[in-house]
A and B are shown apart, each in its own frame.
Chain A
Amino acid sequence: MNFIKITKRDDLPRNKAILIRGVAILLSLICAGLVMLIFGLEPIKIYTEIINGSLGSEMRIKQTIIKAIPLVITSLGILVAFKMKFWNIGAEGQIIMGAMAAAYVALNYGETPKPVLLLLMVIASMLAGGIWAFIPAFFKAKMGTNETIFTLMMNYIAIKFVTYLQYGPWKDPGAQGFPKIAQFGDNAVLPAVFGIHAGWIIALILVVLMYIFINHTKKGYEITVVGESLETARYAGMNIKSIIITAMLISGGLCGLTGMIQASAIERTLTSGISAGYGFTAIITAWLARLNAIAVLVVCILFAMLIQGGAYLQIAMNVPESVASLVQGSVLFFVLGSDFFIQYKVSLQGLFRKKNAEEGGAA
């Protein structure tokens, strides 16, 4: 039965595609609003409060930015891997391992002067995150293993490893036996710049560097070609294995850096929950940004607004935080779903045409 006719289209004018996306976002807000109405909430007020909660005061703006920082850096890491069509779902684990390495440095060499200590932590975290990503990359390059499953599983290993450290060798002796890792000394804490920890500067610099890397360097070019067609990369004499591994070292390194920033500036210690889901959210933001570094920045800020606005809702309006998740899910569903309408033409006339065809056949 073909009531709806679906045909592929390749060359939708750009403004039409934008229109479709805009309509998708509107629909998503309306749809989420309807659900809110069902639960007796006022959608307009909720949306207002999300904006207000994320941008309404200096403190809220700061909180929004603090949430955007790990999202941006992790998204950039994921972007490199995805550009190569290497589906790195392991950002969570890479963040955790990066945080772990940073914590190792911070806890054991805490007396080192601050700039040196922070630099060491950055290096250690990037190495650890890179290694955590290198392992699946190595097996993919050498044995063709499936990176999606592999990177995903590496997440759980990382979480359990940190839990082990927390309960075992790294347990804070001063915590009355409570299984937690000690707080970092002051030297291991990222300084604040304009009231927000210096991670925002790192994030901005990385956005620019990533843009240049992907678009203006040979390595970035190679990564793009490998992502587009392995055969072409081979044909052009690229060393694919080395490209995959380099890209994954960068990808994991950036995720690891996120771990260091979160451990140093936010938690001031290591916990197994340090990644806080950023590794997964960043997949969505990287994808929505169409793997473009500059767009990543914008998308991540908008996403951070949704997260921060959602957290605000509960405190300010006594509304469950899940309302914000509802909006988030709804936006994602519609925007990603709108891609279908950009690639395919759907017409409802199928119903009438079908009748005609049958008449034609029967007459």
Chain B
Amino acid sequence: MKKVLSVLLILALVFGLAACGGGETAEEPAGDEALKVGFIYIGTKNDGGFTQAHHEGTMAMEEYFGGKVTTIIKEGVDDTDKQAAKEAALGMIDQGASVIVACSFGFMDALDELANDPAYADIKFLHFSGYKMNDTNFGNYFGATEEPRYLSGIVAGMQTETNKLGYVAAFPYTEVQIGINAFTLGAQSVNPDVEVKVVYINSWYDPAQEKAAAEALLAQGCDVITQHCDTTGPQVAAAEKGVYAIGYNMDNSAVVPESFLTAPIWHHEEFLIATIQAIMDGTWTPESYYGTMADGYVDLAPMTDLVPAETKAAVEAVKAQIIAGEKPIFVGPIYDNAGNLVVPEGTTLDRGGIWETNYLVKGVTAVQ
């Protein structure tokens, strides 16, 4: 017992000495007037996908404000571990951050808890992809990915020869199901015989599993692979097999040039710049932002030279219609893959209707 105590005392002493020797603590050079924004990422900022897309938005925003905004980031925060998210946010607040941006669905409850804690009433919380918010300091933002997804579906539908499209997806829930349905409807609009095979990996960020799932789909004869998960794993798998890949989040034409067709992508800076500006101006109120292609928040990455000219033309035409607001994505009749009519003839889903999705459309088979 005494031994242990003495050891611990020594440990404490050593640490204490280190503390004395160290002198002043780390201080950010930026002045007090700069707005400090903390970003919580699920993956690493160079993951070639989801988090990298976010981080590029972050960097663009920081550059835009030229010193008036500084950012701190924490990468690799487990979004199934609420404590990790809370800690990351609290650590940032401790560092002087007054805006917290959390970039994964799983961070929602952590943010909700902090935002509603009176101790952090002065802090603004922005959450990507969630549905919770409040009236004072907690808003969320997302994009109409169904639009570029639909376009990428057209590309896939025209490129496939086997009429089997592979889709590596994260979790079987609304956000992901919307994307799958939009993609499928886009493909079916040009190729009614097309089938979409989905594998859920139950994780957003798992490079190895993402790739493995794509390989399983390839083995089933899919000749275009797309994804709703964070890394380039599925694209690499497609490239290795010599088939086409449609990415997500980022333009990865340089990473897998031999396979990459296009990808639904984000321009997070579109949201961030406007929102941070509003916060600095004191005009911000919590909202549930939903950026469209027309807003420039979501987009389809430039189609590579692997896409034939007539396909490009067809896609561009639809894209123009969508941006002009003339082309809703979900128009009845839509049947789910069990044969039930889910959107009746003559009905067009608006944002609210889209976000009630809890089914996959006809032509999709999914394994979990």
Interface, chain A (partner B; CB < 8 A): 14, 17-18, 21-22, 25-26, 29, 44-45, 47-52, 56-57, 59-60, 63, 66, 167, 175-180, 183, 262, 266-269, 271-274, 276, 288-290, 292, 294-295, 298-299, 302, 305, 311-312, 314-317, 321, 331, 335
Contact = CB atoms under 8 A, between A and B. Distances in A.
Contact of B3 (A21, A177, A266, A274): A21
Contact of B93 (A59, A292, A302, A321): A59
B83 A266 contact: yes
Interface of B: 1-8, 10-12, 14-16, 18-19, 21-23, 25-26, 38, 72, 74-76, 78, 80-84, 86-88, 90-95, 105-106, 109, 112-113, 131, 171-175, 177, 202, 355, 358
Contact of B88 (A50, A315, A317): A315
A267 B109 CA distance: 9
Given A57-B94, A290-B3, A314-B75, 5 more contacts: A51-B19, A60-B94, A271-B80, A276-B84, A295-B5
Nearest to A174: B131
A302 B5 CA distance: 12
18 contacts: A25-B14, A44-B22, A47-B18, A47-B22, A49-B25, A49-B26, A50-B15, A52-B26, A66-B83, A268-B109, A273-B81, A298-B4, A298-B5, A299-B8, A315-B38, A315-B74, A315-B91, A317-B26
Given A29-B18, A314-B74, A22 B83 contact: no
Contact of B21 (A48, A178, A267, A331): A48
B7 A179 contact: no
Contact of A335 (B7, B16, B21): B7
B19 A52 contact: yes
A96 to B, nearest CB: 13
A312 B26 CA distance: 11
Most chain A Cβ neighbours within 10 Å, of B18, B75, B106: B18
A14 B2 contact: yes
Contact of A276 (B25, B83, B88, B358): B83
A177 B173 contact: yes
Given A177-B172, A315-B74, A273 B7 contact: no
Contact of B7 (A18, A52, A176, A315): A18
A178 B107 CA distance: 13
Nearest to B10: A22
Given A22-B10, A56-B25, A177 B1 contact: no
Contacts of A294: 1
Contact of A179 (B21, B82, B92, B202): B202
A272 B12 CA distance: 34
A37 B52 CA distance: 29
7 nearest A-B pairs in the assembled complex, by CB-CB distance: A48-B22, A177-B173, A47-B18, A176-B174, A178-B173, A22-B10, A295-B4
| Of listed B7, B15, B19, B93, residue having the most chain A CB within 10 A | B7
A22 B13 CA distance: 10
A150 B7 CA distance: 33
A298 B10 contact: no
A61 B282 CA distance: 32
Given A266-B82, A290-B1, A298-B8, A177 B174 contact: yes
B90 A59 contact: yes
Contacts, number: 148
Contacts of A262: 83
A222 to B, nearest CB: 21
A269 B131 contact: no
Contact of B8 (A49, A180, A295): A295
A312 B91 contact: yes
Given A18-B7, A177-B172, A267-B83, A44 B14 contact: no
B14 A63 contact: no
B14 A26 contact: yes
A269 B108 CA distance: 13
Given A52-B25, A269-B109, A314-B74, A290 B4 contact: yes
Contacts of B78: 273
A341 to B, nearest CB: 14
Nearest to A319: B26
B64 to A, nearest CB: 21
A210 B229 CA distance: 47
A255 B88 CA distance: 25
Nearest to A57: B94
B18 A267 contact: no
A299 B76 CA distance: 27
A262 B14 CA distance: 31
Nearest to A301: B8
Nearest to B84: A276
Contacts of B72: 315
Contacts of A273: 78, 80-81
A354 B184 CA distance: 80
Given A48-B22, A49-B26, A299-B8, A14 B82 contact: no
Nearest to B355: A176
Given A18-B6, A49-B26, A175 B21 contact: no
A25 B171 CA distance: 46
A327 to B, nearest CB: 10
A141 B280 CA distance: 66
B82 A268 contact: yes
A312 B95 CA distance: 9
A188 B80 CA distance: 20
Contact of B10 (A21, A59, A176, A268): A21
Contacts of B84: 276
Contacts of A295: 1, 4-5, 8
A50 B12 CA distance: 12
Contact of A29 (B14, B87, B113, B202): B14
Q: Which of B2, B84, B94 has the most CB of A within 10 A?
A: B94
B174 A178 contact: yes
A312 B11 CA distance: 20
A298 B10 CA distance: 12
A298 B2 CA distance: 12
A302 B3 contact: no
A213 B331 CA distance: 69
Nearest to A166: B80
Contacts of A290: 1, 3-4
A116 B94 CA distance: 35
A299 B172 contact: no
Most central of B2, B81, B92 by chain A CB within 10 Å: B81
B92 A315 contact: yes
A362 B327 CA distance: 100
